[in-house]
Amino acid sequence: MATHADSPKLLAALDYARLGYAIFPCRANAKLPAVAHGVLDATSVVEQITAWWRRWPQANIGLSCAGLLVVDIDPDGLAWPGDEGKRQSIKATGCPLQRTPRDGFHLIFSVPNGHAWRCSVGLLAHGVDVRSNGGYILAAPSSVRGASYRWLRPLVARSHLPPPPDWLIEELDALEQRRQKPSQKGNGPEAQETGLLLEGRRNAGLASLAGRLRRSGLSEAELLAALLTANKQRCCPPLPEKEVAAIAKSIAKYAPGPVESCWAMREAWKKAVEHRRRKYARRTHF
């Protein structure tokens, strides 16, 4: 039983469980799971949740998206859906709305009967990801790099979540139909043209990318940052972040390339980060 002496994150975790959500701990100030099987360990059992957060009081809260639809909008996807009528239809659902530390948004919906959507990265629209079965998000008051998640419209009981608007259901169904062809062929022409790494080639693809970056002089921390981005944008579905970290650690054991390449890569990285920071202002659309 929770007490006032328990951490705010434990109290929030228990609240989510009471609302019907399965949760699990992630590392403090990070998105990596703190438990061996990641989202597969998610539960709403009070005793297990209490034990986790009393062991790791500052652990972030991972919320399983199994049976849910979470539309994850990155800063470069804020123009979506590109139509004011569609935007207003999302707002009219009253769906829970969470702002992320990078000034993106999480929109939380139920999944209507007869529909099944998979996680995807940038396939619905540029900068717009889908989280559902097999995926997870961090929930407030989790924080990453000192910036916190926060609810703009609070999470409601799971049984009270609204379905997505009809037009979004149609787009998600159409997306699933488009994904059938490359997923059946493994890594066919469509996957190659879009640069996607599908199941069976994700680890090898990220390892190959890491090798090129390591030869350019990137450190393990820099490799991990780059691979996490590539995992999110190119892997379908994304690998668990723990696996990505293992790839970065393994490749970092190899000797780096020339110092000149290292400097150039780091300068390009810094410029890209600075450009992103200047480009996106805080905005609320939904």
pLDDT tens-place string over residues 240-275:
888 899 998 888 888 876 544 445 555 555 555 565
Residues of the chain with pLDDT under 50: 182-194, 259-262
Residue with the two structure tokens 């450009």:
275
Between the CA of residue 23 and those of 38, 96, 230, 241, what are the distances in Å? 10, 17, 26, 17
- Tokens describing residue 283: 């905005």
pLDDT at 233: 75
In the chain, where the domains are located: 8-175, 192-279
pLDDT tens-place string over residues 71-91:
999 998 999 998 899 999 999
Segment holding 25, helix H or strand E: strand 23-26
Sign, Cα dihedral of 160, 151, 165, 168: negative
Name the architecture of domain 8-175.
2-Layer Sandwich (3.30)
- Tokens describing residue 212: 């090129």
pLDDT at 256: 76
pLDDT at 186: 47
Tell me how far apart the alpha carbons of residues 76 and 200 are, in angstroms, rounded to a whole number. Answer: 29
